[in-house]
Amino acid sequence: MPSHDNKIIFAGPVGAGKTTAIAAISDIEPVRTDAAASDMTLRRKAETTVALDYGLLRLEQGCKVHLYGTPGQERFDFMWDIVSRGGIGLALLLDNTRPQPAKDLQFFLNAFQPLLLRAPLVVGLSKTDLRPKPDAESYALLLARCGLRPPVFEVDCRRREDIKQLVLALLYSRDPGLEA
């Protein structure tokens, strides 16, 4: 991993845990752009990200990883391209309690295809304690049908270790030599 700054994008539907994940792993107080939910999002949570979330992870040897969370609502999709510029990878978080999480997976793969053509992907499944199916293996099979084989993890977005595992898997996907 180069000693310069790196940028990882967190994406996924509303309520998947992007803001929470960045807060769990950031070495600084995260920047949040939450506003009161005013549409169907209100059924899932009171506030939602309207621009981006930002955090910073400091690694060894002065390496920094900037963490950017995108808004989950499709009406803010113009932010997805803006935030993705310069990204070295995508951490896609999926809320397993949503009605069709596999459909969410396909939607976000399509939406972030320009980034995924040049950068690795890792998938984090949130809220599997509330709804265990589909499981990580089911998602891996769906991804394989799309020609993708990213790491897939069940995560609790509140737990630093879970999100650290997700970020490290993404960094290792980018540079396998990091493990040594």
In tens, the pLDDT along 81-106 reads 999 999 999 999 999 999 999 999 99
In tens, the pLDDT along 66-76 reads 999 998 888 88
Q: How confident is the model at residue 40 (pLDDT cuts 50, 70, 90)?
A: low
Pairing mode, strands 64-69 and 53-58: antiparallel
The CA-atom distances, in angstroms, between 125 and each of 20, 35, 178 are 13, 25, 24
Cβ-based neighbours of 113, under 8 Å, separated by 6 or more: none
Boundaries of every domain in the chain: 5-175
19 close to 34: Cβ distance less than 8 angstroms: yes
Does position 1 have pLDDT exceeding 50, yes or no?
A: no
**pLDDT reported for residue 31:** 83
Q: How far apart are CA 89 and CA 152, in angstroms?
A: 14
**pLDDT reported for residue 100:** 95
pTM: predicted TM-score of the whole model, two decimal places: 0.88
Q: How far apart are CA 94 and CA 87, in angstroms?
A: 19
Choose among 97, 94, 84: nearest CA to 125.
94
CATH 3.40.50.300 describes domain 5-175:
yes
